[in-house]
Structure 1
Amino acid sequence: MLTAGIDLSAEDANTAVAWIRWTGTTAVVEELVVGADDDELLRAASTVDKLGIDCPLGWPEPFVEFIVAHHRGDLTPPTEPVGRDWRRSLAWRHTDLVTRAVTGSRPPLSVAADRIAHTAMRCAGLLARLAAAGQPVDRSGCGTVVEVYPAASLNQWDLPNQRYKGRRNTGALNELMDRLTAATPWLQFGEFESVCRHSDHAVDAVVAALTARAAAIGHATRPGPTDLATALTEGWIALPTAPLTGLVTADAEG
């Protein structure tokens, strides 16, 4: 099995993609690109068995309805004060709230009300190009593409998951890599370990590829019957449900 993970940013310079080849009880980081353009990302999507993208695949349904109604000039006046709770009901997707409940941490960035919206716009364009090429994306995670959230995956695997990003946090990034490599002796980083120790984008891409593997073998959350309709439009964050060692157990799909 070949999985890939994309740490997506609005710009190429901060976008990374990692490929991991799974061979029974071992895995190898086969390729890692920091500064990936759209063609590189589309190559990953078309060559792997499962691709994890660290980016919202959709917007909150109430937010979309709100924007469309406002644009048309027929917005129904709110029945409650336009305060924090009302705004939050528009800002977060269902999967964001589920992720917060499962991990016990703060929710992911709001795709409706934060700068990650710029990244989501790029993602939407990529997904449209995939669909035009004959590879439509199921935003609920079925099919090749699945939405992931590296910080939440790290949390689920009991690894450091905060304050490792940016030049000021290289010490924390190296601590994360120490913990990650210790927890995955079966994962061969090779020449790319040094890249990961210098780039949090590279690390997130690797974690995204690990989470893609978890989703591919049934070791990650999936939307239930009551969540599916919303997940198909808003997206669904796959959270690991088993230890890292479960990714290479003998009964896992190779």
Structure 2
Amino acid sequence: MSVRTVGVDLSAEPAGTAVATLEWADGAAVVTGLAERADDEVVLEAITKADKAGIDCPFGWPLPFVDFVSGHRDGHVSGHPTLEGRDWRRELANRTTDTAVRERTGLIPLSVAADRIGHAAFRCAWLLAQLSRRGVDVHRAGTGRVVEVYPAASLKVWGLRQRGYKGAAHRAERDQIVTELRAAAPWLDLGAHDEQCRASDHALDAVVAALSARAAAIGLVTTPASDQAAAAAVEGWIAVPTAGIDALAAAEPPV
């Protein structure tokens, strides 16, 4: 029985959005589709047809930030009872999962509350709402069909380069990643999309997101601890792989 995972490198606009589709069967994975400049309908259709989909974009905002903005709207910003200055601002800017990723990998996810990635998050929130209306389970902690992923963290866990490969000027760095990825995962067939991944960081990130979705589907990713679950259900949770990339093709469990 084949299993389909989808990866979405989501940007605020279609121009920076890519969607990868992987089919898994008999210990191998094939990239069967890799769409760039993907509009909302392309994203929605791909996820609707997937067994598990990984989206590279925050699923929500930090709860303290939401409370702060609500308080500002109502005219009663009161600050934090114990924190001040930079520490208070850091709590407003970072989600529980951002802190967990930093502690686990040393990488610092972009702040959805204080960085331009917020524009992509607006689009993501709308897409998640549309998926929910279509009957797709979009629980923000990743327990449903969609899960929040972070390609840089996945690449780092898998022992691959995770920095300095974005943009047209860094083709050589992407070549290195794709070559190393193919060596680390000989069961992964990029087919006609090999050159596309080398030419576009969006395409490459979409493939890594689809691989990360596979890790989530077979339970080889981080999940919220009991004291993190409530925040993750609202803010979102980045699923970071907990095993090497070779484990992704080791079994064919149900999704």
TM superposition score normalised by structure 2: 0.96
Change (3 A) 1:250 1:76: closer
Instruction: Tell me, in whole angstroms, the C-alpha distance in 2 between the residues paired with 1:251 and 1:122.
Output: 33
Q: How far, CA to CA, are the matches of 2:90 and 2:82 in structure 1?
A: 13
Alpha-carbon distance between aligned partners in 1 of 2:44 and 2:203, rounded to the nearest angstrom: 18
TM superposition shift of 1:104:
2.1
Task: State the shift of 1:252 in Å.
Answer: 4.7
Q: Which residue type is aligned with residue 21 of structure 1?
A: E
Give the TM-score normalised by structure 1. 0.96
CA distance in 2, matches of 1:81, 1:214: 37
Residues 24, 224 of structure 1: alpha-carbon distance in 2 compared, 3 angstrom cutoff: farther
Identical-residue share of aligned pairs (%): 52
Q: Is structure 2 residue 20 aligned with structure 1 residue 18?
A: yes
CA change 1:11–1:245 in 2 (3 A) is same
Whole-angstrom distance in 2 between the partners of 1:210 and 1:80: 41
The number of residues matched between the two structures is 253
Question: SS of the residue aligned with 1:191?
Answer: helix
Aligned-pair distance for 1:243?
0.9
Residue 6 of structure 2 corresponds to residue 4 of structure 1: yes
Shift of 1:88: 0.6
What's the counterpart of residue 31 of structure 1?
33
Deviation at 1:136, TM superposition (A): 4.0
Indicate whether 1:70 and 2:77 are aligned.
no
Unaligned runs of 5+ in 2: none
1:22-64 CA-partner distances (Å, limit 9, x unpaired): 0021110010001100000000111000000000000000000
Structure 1's consecutive aligned runs of 4 or more residues displaced over 6 angstroms after TM superposition are none
Shift of 1:128: 1.0
Whichever residue aligns with residue 44 of structure 2, its letter is L
Query: Amino acid of the residue matched to residue 162 of structure 1?
Result: R
Q: Deviations over 1:86-128 (max 9, x none)?
A: 11110000000000111023x1000000000000000001011
The answer on 1:194 being equivalent to 2:165 is: no
CA-CA distance at 1:139 after TM superposition: 0.2
Other-structure match for 1:181: 182
Do 1:2 and 1:49's aligned partners in 2 also have CA atoms closer than 8 Å? Answer: yes
> Which consecutive unaligned segments of at least 5 residues does structure 1 have?
none
* CA distance 1:87–1:172, shift in 2 (3 Å): same
